[in-house]
Amino acid sequence: MMGTTGRLLGLGVGPGDPELITLKTLRHLRAAPVVAYFAGPGRKGHALSTIESHLDASQQLLRLEYPLTTEAVSGPRSYDDIMVDFYDAAASRVAEHLATGHDVAVICEGDPMLYGSYMYLHDRLAARYPGEVVPGVCAMLAGAAMLGRPLVYRDQSLSVVAGTLPAPELAARLESAEAAVIMKLGRNLGKVRDVLLQLRRADQALYIEQATLPGQRMMPLMDVDPSSAPYFSMVLVPGRRWLT
Amino acid sequence: MMGTTGRLLGLGVGPGDPELITLKTLRHLRAAPVVAYFAGPGRKGHALSTIESHLDASQQLLRLEYPLTTEAVSGPRSYDDIMVDFYDAAASRVAEHLATGHDVAVICEGDPMLYGSYMYLHDRLAARYPGEVVPGVCAMLAGAAMLGRPLVYRDQSLSVVAGTLPAPELAARLESAEAAVIMKLGRNLGKVRDVLLQLRRADQALYIEQATLPGQRMMPLMDVDPSSAPYFSMVLVPGRRWLT
């Protein structure tokens, strides 16, 4: 139909195991003429790796390459300024396809609405174009499943925090939480461990990296080399067992 | 092979839309000789409704019916005591099948490790029987997707809390959270609204019930009749937008 715009589809592809995508994401993915994905410079992109076996040659790939690999920038422009420009430009590229009537499936590691780059496209485009967001299995629940440890019982609260926070803030947020997940570890792993030690929660904390992927590793937090952790890693502090 | 026990499979089936199950859950579900599910007295069970179209007549259904519909019990025994007995008995019934070499797929609304009844079987059986937990799409991320609202940006923290908590504790937990999800509303909805009003966060709060199901309803929290909410409902307080 002339004049009809395409749909913006934010598709969660899950934590990494290609079998952990939903039937709905698979249906939208196979039908999309354009598949957009984020990737770091020189990287393939985790979301693309997860779903590429489901694509065929007729589908156009739209690569959205991050301008930076770290938040530590030198030069006159701030990290935020650089990223605003990047997401503005990425949204424009996606919008070009939408304007010509093509659906664009933006694939997202984990879930689209939880710490994902898709959110920055959504905030720029969802009010202007029709679309749909398909939730996905998020990394923290994949971690709990792989560790075989229930995360939150009954009326317990769960705190999801970024390891990039300063130690005092991390401690304040973790102190009151009956269960916790700490994302974005990287070079913050030692700090996270020290905070949990100080709170006397380190013994219950579990570490997992590359959950559901072939390179998956998991162990008690206290057994981990604290110097660094890869991007795809997290610490889980499960809630206290109930009814056993 | 004689002497081989069956596997305990904890399968997340997602928030309700049958299309939001993963390929992995579907594969395990179709192959399982026994499918166990929890349900309230006189109810069909939400997890069963979600996946029953994928079952065939050769599969045995194992119904695990809750002894209570509310935590307010009268009589000499406490809620906890009654539930411990219930989960002990449920685990024994599942174990009978495992002992005869049959895999048992325990289907779980949302994700198995997040507030789910499966956890009580897992805690009783996972150390004794081989098995696997397959994560699922949890209700809160389905809610964010349906509302079309990104939940957590960048280094923001997310607090997941139960609406059953006393108002002062609810306030303390929500006050420090940049983003929040409040589950288990029911008759607690008015209290939750009052706490968010007091914290000046009520205007940003969104309400959704039966996310991804045909009966889905969603609106700003301040537009909801505060007298009650169904079990399958939640309040989301999205984090502040970043980079826009």
The answer to whether residue A228 scores a pLDDT higher than 80 is: no
- The β-bridge partners of B207 are B219, B235
Nearest to A22 by CA among A33, A10, A12: A12
A15 and chain B: CB distance < 8 Å anywhere? yes
Q: What is the pLDDT of residue B230?
A: 87
User: How far from each other are the two terminal CA atoms of chain A, in whole angstroms?
Assistant: 61
Cα separation of A99 and B115, whole Å? 43
pLDDT for B166-211, tens place per residue? 999 999 999 988 999 999 998 999 999 999 999 999 999 999 999 9
Residues of B in contact with A155 (CB under 8 A): 162, 164-165, 184
The answer to whether residue B1 scores a pLDDT higher than 50 is: no
Cβ contacts below 8 Å, chain A against chain B, sum to: 196
With an 8 Å Cβ cutoff, are A23 and B19 in contact?
yes
- Residue range A43-60: average pLDDT? 96
For strands B34-39 and B233-237, give the pairing: unpaired
With an 8 Å Cβ cutoff, are B134 and A22 in contact?
no
Q: Searching chain A, which residue's CA lies closest to the CA of residue B11?
A: A145
Longest dimension (CA), chain B: 64
Split at pLDDT 50, 70, 90, the class of A3 is low
Q: At what angle do helices A167-175 and A189-198 cross, to 10 degrees?
A: 50
ipTM given for this complex: 0.96
Residues 173-192 of chain A with CB under 8 A from chain B are 173, 176-177, 184
The answer to whether residue A1 scores a pLDDT higher than 60 is: no
Percent of chain A scored above 90 by pLDDT?
89
Q: How far is B61 from chain A (nearest CA, A)?
A: 23
B164 and chain A: CB distance < 8 Å anywhere? yes
Split at pLDDT 50, 70, 90, the class of B3 is low
The first and second tokens of residue B59, run together, are 């599969």
Cα separation of B112 and B10, whole Å? 6
Instruction: Report chain A's mean pLDDT, rounded to a whole number.
Output: 95
- Residue range B5-29: average pLDDT? 98
Return the half-sphere exposure (C-beta side, CA atoms, 13 A cut-off) of residue B188.
21
Give the CA distances from residue B17 to residues A145, B22, B124, B145, B212, in Å, rounded to whole numbers and listed in that order.
21, 11, 30, 13, 5
Cα separation of A231 and B176, whole Å? 26
Q: What is the pLDDT of residue A75?
A: 84
pLDDT for A71-96, tens place per residue? 778 888 999 999 999 999 999 999 99
Give the CA distances from residue B210 to residues A12, B16, B146, B221, in Å, rounded to whole numbers and listed in that order.
20, 8, 10, 15
The first and second tokens of residue B219, run together, are 């609106």
B65 and chain A: CB distance < 8 Å anywhere? no
With an 8 Å Cβ cutoff, are B157 and A161 in contact?
yes
Q: What is the pLDDT of residue A13?
A: 98
Give the CA distances from residue B206 to residues B140, B149, B196, B219, in Å, rounded to whole numbers and listed in that order.
12, 9, 11, 6
pLDDT for B117-153, tens place per residue? 999 999 999 999 999 999 999 999 999 999 999 999 9
Q: How far is A77 from chain B (nearest CA, A)?
A: 14
The first and second tokens of residue B75, run together, are 């009589």
Q: Which residues of A15-29 are buried (b: 16+ CB within 10 A; e: fewer)?
A: bbbbebbbbbbbebb
DSSP state letter for A30: H
With an 8 Å Cβ cutoff, are B150 and A244 in contact?
no
With an 8 Å Cβ cutoff, are B173 and A176 in contact?
yes
Cα separation of B52 and B82, whole Å? 29
User: Lowest-confidence range among A162-166, A225-229, B176-180, B205-209?
Assistant: A225-229
Cα separation of A105 and A108, whole Å? 9
Q: What is the pLDDT of residue A69?
A: 76
Domains and CATH numbers, chain A: 8-137 (3.40.1010.10), 140-237 (3.30.950.10)
With an 8 Å Cβ cutoff, are B161 and A162 in contact?
no
The answer to whether residue B43 scores a pLDDT higher than 90 is: yes
Cα separation of B120 and A152, whole Å? 11
Split at pLDDT 50, 70, 90, the class of B240 is very high
Q: How far is B156 from chain A (nearest CA, A)?
A: 7
Cα separation of A107 and A96, whole Å? 17
10 Å Cβ neighbour count for A2? 4
Among the partner-chain residues B20, B120, B133, the one whose CB lies closest to the CB of A24 is B20
Residues 16-35 of chain B with CB under 8 A from chain A are 17-24, 26-27
Residues of A in contact with B115 (CB under 8 A): 152-154
A123 and chain B: CB distance < 8 Å anywhere? yes
